[in-house]
Each structure stands twice: as C-alpha cells, then as structure tokens.
Structure 1
Amino acid sequence: MSYQLSIEPTRPADIPPEGTILALGREVLESTKSWKAGKTYAKGTVQTLSRAKRSGDGAAWHSRLSKHTKEDATFDEFWSKLGINKAENEKEFISAIKKVTLVKRISDTQSIWTMYYTFPPPVSPRVFTVLQTIHLDESSPRTGMVVSIPVDLSGLGDEELANLEEKGTKGRYVSVERLVELEDGKVEWQMATSSTPGGSIPSFIAESSMAGQISADVPHFLKWFHTVRNQGT
C-alpha cells in the first residue's frame, strides 16, 4: 500500500522515508492551485483555499497563503522561528497550546513532538502527536518546508514514548508548511492542513471554523515575532 498524507496516523516503526514525506508535501501544495478559493482574512492579506474530502482523505483539506515584506520578517527570520524549534515557538503564539514535549529526535531533520491544547468548556483538552520533517533548500529561490504527519504511540513497543503524551482526547492533523524567498525579497508563506479534533465534536463544526483558525496564526505569529525580533542582537 502506497503512503499518502492524511490524518491516518503512522506508528514510529512505519514512518515513511524522509524523501517520500517531502515529495508528498510538495504534491499537496502544488494541488492547491486548483482548490476552491475561500475568504480572505487579516485585512485581505491571507487567502484561504479548501478541497473537499476525497477517497483516501480522512478529512477535508484547508490552506492559507500570504506574502510578507521584510518589515514583517525576512526569509531567515521566518525560518528561524518556523523551521527551527517549530513546536516550541508555536506554543508562544498559539494560545491554545499549553505544553509541547519532544518525544523522540530521529535525526537533525526529523523528530516526534506531542502538543497539549486546551479550549474553553465544554471542549475537553486535546493531544496531537506528530512527526515533523524539516527541509531547507538553499538554491534559488530559497525554500523551507516542514511536513507534520500524525503518529500513533499506542502500539506495542512504544510505551515509553506514549508516557510522554499528556492525558486528553486524541486529535490528529497533517500539515505542510512552506516558506519561499521571492525575487523581490518578499516571503511567501503557505500552509495546507487536514485535521480532526477527535472526540464528539461534529466534523461540520470543526470544518466550518478551519479557515478562520489557520488564518489567525499569521497575525498571531507576526505580533509575537515582533516582540522577540531584536532580542539578543
């Protein structure tokens, strides 16, 4: 059976080759050119797109696209926060993330992380565990990618890793995030994701809020980044 990016989790022993994960991530982003355009957010600076659930998908896909000047952040600055220590940095600008834990570092470019989210009642806490594959292409145009795929730690032999997960309802997401340094010095930031919150939340409720949620990450990131931009310089 060939692997595809979806919310179906993989066990640590069955993680696909790094090159396969990156190639599938590029395919997803390329396919967004034919997705349905949705609303724009953040004063028209963030465009959303979506693709209905297809055979092999566990859920629908959603994407956002934005372009940024050096005043927002340079390519190196974006990559320093989104390509390095990504999970720990997301905890700083995504308020729902209360705890992130490194489960296993596989290599310099692959690691398993678990993230603990809390939400207003009556929604119970959620736990998302993913493998992050990170790749930086220094040729022109410089391009950085982070592909996150869901990981299942409930199998035999993974007990020690599973002990690092917080207690909560298991959610799942797959995402592809890409930064491209454009010729004019601007940075294109694109992200595509498919997810399920798990538990008893109806899928149509979760899906209806996705565009707004993923778009909000852009201004949240920039607001946080500008508070730390000049620290240590």
Structure 2
Amino acid sequence: MSSDYELTITPVKISEIPAEETIISLGQALLDSTPSWKPGKTFQKGTVKTYSRPKGANDGAPWHCRVSEHTPEDATFDEFWSKLGVNKAENEKQYIPDIKKVTLIKQISETQSVWSLYYTFPPPVSPRVFTVVQTTYVDTASPRTGIIVSMPVDLSSDTELAKLEEKGVKGRYVSVERLKEIEGGKAEWRMATSSTPGGKIPAFIAESTMDSTISQDVTHFLHWFHSIRSKSAEQPANA
C-alpha cells in the first residue's frame, strides 16, 4: 500500500488494507485539521458543535465534524472507550435506530476488524449496507486519547467473505473518532466523517441533513448508555 494513502470513501480491497499505524496516523492528522474547518450549526442546546470541509481533489464527498465535551456524569473516558473503542459495531446497533444488523466479517487483530452494518430506512429508501474495517488505538500517556478509524472495504475479491454481507444498496463512509481526556475529568468526543448513501439519493439531500444526523448520535449514545450504566462496570482503557 502506498504511503500516500488518504482517508476517503473509496473502498480499499480486503487484501490491501494499510498497516494499522498508517491508518491511525492518517486519522490523527485529519482530526488535528478539524479546528480550521468551517463552523456550522450547534445542536443539543449548544453542547454539540459542527464543522465542515468541502470535497477536496481526492475526496469522494465533503467532510463533516462534530465536537462535544462531557462531564463524568455523562460518561467517563473509560466508559466512553468501553462502548466506542470495544465492540463498536455491536454497540452502535443498540443506540442507532437505523442499524438493524451487524456482522463480523473478519477479525484481523485485537485492534482491527471488518464489519458489515445493515441499515433500514422508511420507504421509499431501500436498505443500505456499509462494510468497513475498524481500527482502534489507545494512547495511555496523560491525557489519554483513544482513536477509532472506520474505512470502507471492498470484499468482492474474496467470495467467502462477500457471502457474509447482507443484501442491499452499498453505501460507503469513512469516519475518525477521538476520545480525549480534558480538564476537570471531562472527555472530548470528536468525530469526522465523509459518506455517500449510494443508490439514487441525490448527494445534496444526504449532505443537507448530515450535521443534524451526526449530532443526534451523541444524544442516542448517552440515552442508551445511561439506560445500561448501572449494569456496566467501568473498564480501564489500557488495552
């Protein structure tokens, strides 16, 4: 894989997934650039800020970012990481209403795996299938940070793995999420994503609702997490 690889919605072949260190480095660089992106609307009473970047020469779609800060009452760093950095796809199915099924396609390492996510939407929109490789990394130096990168994967060259995908219109997304400890025991949750729903949905329609959609994920996560929090012991983010 070329060292000049970039994070885009163009799927990578299953046999050409970049090294984990490369993926994490690219994700870190992308998030480091987000403070210079164009500010957008704020949501959830100003607690979730959004930013965007136009489609660049090598991008398949524009980029969108959301940033939120959370007190330990919302969730601690360890609590966030236990649900976002571990079993991410399975947990997303619990709090994102449109996700109806997730399938582990391949476990590459303890910190990298390929998942297929099956989304359904109200008619007339057809179901969508997003297949991604998810790579995670935790830096335990203080302040701790954890990164999750999801990038689209093309399984067509491996017929056995391709059989595991659900049937549906293939969409594509790339996303980078970072959890970071900040002052006062708080945690910052920063996420940047670029996507296309595929099919016949006009790009401008999908783009027009993106900021609202990604901000709602924060609300969905916290509502779900608080419903299970008493049953979920904190897990240190040291792996």
Report TM bin, short chain. Answer: over 0.9
Equivalent in the alignment of 2:236: none
- Distance in 1 separating the partners of 2:21 and 2:170: 27
1:56-67 superposed matches below 5 A: 56-67=58-69
CA RMSD of aligned residues (A): 0.8
CA shift digits 1:160-214 (9 cap, x unpaired): 1111100000000000000001131000000000000000000000000100000
Q: TM-score, normalised by structure 2?
A: 0.95
* Cα distance in structure 1, aligned partners of 2:229 and 2:121: 29
Aligned pairs for 1:1-233 within 5 A: 1=2, 2-155=4-157, 158-231=158-231
Amino acid at match of 2:65: S
Are 1:81 and 1:89, in contact at CA under 8 Å, matched by a contact in 2? yes
Structure 1 residue 232 displacement after superposition:
5.4
How many positions carry a matched residue from both structures?
231
For residues 201 and 154 of structure 1, the distance between their equivalents in structure 2, rounded to whole angstroms, comes to 23
Q: What fraction of aligned residue pairs are identical, expressed as a percent?
A: 67
Gaps of 5+ in 1: none
> Partner letter of residue 28 of structure 1?
L
Matched residues in 1 for 2:103 and 2:220: separation? 22
Question: Is the 1:48–1:65 Cα contact (8 Å) retained in structure 2?
Answer: yes
Equivalent residues of 1:141, 1:183 under 8 A apart: no
TM-score, length basis structure 1: 0.98
